[in-house]
Structure 1
Amino acid sequence: MFPSAGSGHRLVADPPEPLVTDDFFLAPLQPELLDLDTEAYLASPDVIRDHSYGRWPQEGFGNDDNLPLVIRHWSDHQARRAFTYLLLDPEGTSSLGCLYLQPLFPYLEAMGADARTLLRYAGGATARVSYWLRQDREPGLTESVSERLDEWLRTQWPLDAYLYRVAPAEECTVHALDRLPLDRVDIDLPAERYNYLWWAADVRMVS
């Protein structure tokens, strides 16, 4: 809901078709989905607190507050700067959470990453990935979502690399990502106020 693209450049020119599974499907976050997005957000106070390190407002938050954010996400999506998706239930009547794909390099640069890290992720389509799932989700949904999202990112997206960024308090997400074929990596970011955990996928060069 709140992350900014952080760059005027496109992350990728042609994103794949949104993921569809038996348990959920992805839909780009746009104004038509405002009600579903706000409802899931307000239904998940503990999840949102952990995911955002307590930075995202909740008390008194409503559609009027959310609409400008949704419009910004949709604008970024259309311009290919960054991509935000709702995870919808199979009937499309409820949001199960939110997925964000944003350019990684501008963030690393702004947070003071060292030259070696910047060189590794410069000059290609590299994404910073994060997501949250609503508080009243079904047991086991976190693992299912994590597996399907990662398969989609790894096989369908024209990315050179992607890294998941997770707050330590997001214990279910941490456990789910530890089960996947990913590498936990340490990234020194002197200007980052928060202590995030990182998982990196194998670099897959665009053919």
Structure 2
Amino acid sequence: MFLVADPPEPLATEDFVLAPLRPELLDLDTEAYLASPDVIRDHSCGRWPLEGFGAEDNLPLVIRHWSDHQAKRAFTYLFLDPEGTSSLGCLYVQPLYPYLEAMGADAQTLLRYAGGSTARVSYWLRQDRKPGLSASVAERLDEWLRTKWPLDAYLYRATPAEECTVHALDRLPLDRVVIDLPAEQHSYLWWAADVRIVS
């Protein structure tokens, strides 16, 4: 369970704005998802459906994300264009500890991330995004997480195939870390931000 009392106001920049993923944004989310088959395949390690997937299939997922967001169990956002007319991708801010526990992390790793609020952060950006968006998202997103969220720490997760995301995260003041997860069937890369408390 997250111990985040309240998430901050969604981030708004000249390149994108964040909006909590809610049922009213179903069509924008579905369109971006279906327009990005290679990105979705890389981000999900091939686990997320593509063939025959439509808004009616996406609706229960969006409702679940919105329910989690309202209950402060996990937070899912759409990256929207500044006009709010198109989705540029999706952001997930989820509690890290339950995932580590489920994936068989050792006692030392669990102890390190036990208590407080530590987030697992991942995101994908649509396939036909404009040049430079990956870098802009990584820089502004990290600043927002670092300075506005009431977190003790946060770790980004990406797959090796997400080359643009990997390159963008490698340019930030983050530490590449290795987390041994015996029950995790997929290979992930991890970046840790310095632990800090928001006043």
Q: In which range does the TM-score fall when normalised by the shorter chain?
A: over 0.9
Query: Partner residue of 1:116?
Result: 108
Distance across 1 between alignment mates of 2:179 and 2:92:
20
Instruction: Compute the displacement of 1:205 (Å).
Output: 2.7
Distance across 2 between alignment mates of 1:113 and 1:171:
26
Q: Deviations over 1:42-66 (max 9, x none)?
A: 0000000000000000000000000
Query: Partner residue of 2:128?
Result: 136
Q: Amino acid of the residue matched to residue 17 of structure 2?
A: F
**2:195 corresponds to 1:203:** yes
Distance across 1 between alignment mates of 2:138 and 2:122:
11
Instruction: Compute the displacement of 1:13 (Å).
Output: 1.3
Q: Amino acid of the residue matched to residue 67 of structure 2?
A: S
Q: Is the 2:20–2:75 Cα contact (8 Å) retained in structure 1?
A: yes
Distance across 2 between alignment mates of 1:99 and 1:19:
12
SS at match of 2:173: coil
SS at match of 1:81: coil
Instruction: Compute the displacement of 1:10 (Å).
Output: 3.2
Cα distance change, pair 146–73 in 1 and its aligned pair in 2 (3 A): same
Task: Report 1:8-27 matches (<5 A).
Answer: 9-27=1-19
TM-score normalised by structure 1 residue count: 0.95
| RMSD of aligned residue pairs (Cα, Å) | 0.7
Distance across 2 between alignment mates of 1:108 and 1:196:
13
Query: Partner residue of 1:29?
Result: 21
Of 176, 179, 184, 1:192 maps to 184
Distance across 2 between alignment mates of 1:96 and 1:131:
11
TM-score normalised by structure 2 residue count: 0.99
Instruction: Compute the displacement of 1:206 (Å).
Output: 4.6
Overall identity of the aligned pairs, in %: 86
Instruction: Compute the displacement of 1:98 (Å).
Output: 0.2
Instruction: Compute the displacement of 1:196 (Å).
Output: 0.3
Query: Partner residue of 1:86?
Result: 78
Q: Deviations over 1:70-121 (max 9, x none)?
A: 0000000000000000000011100000000000000001101111110010
**Structure 2 runs not aligned, ≥5 long:** none
Distance across 1 between alignment mates of 2:90 and 2:6:
20
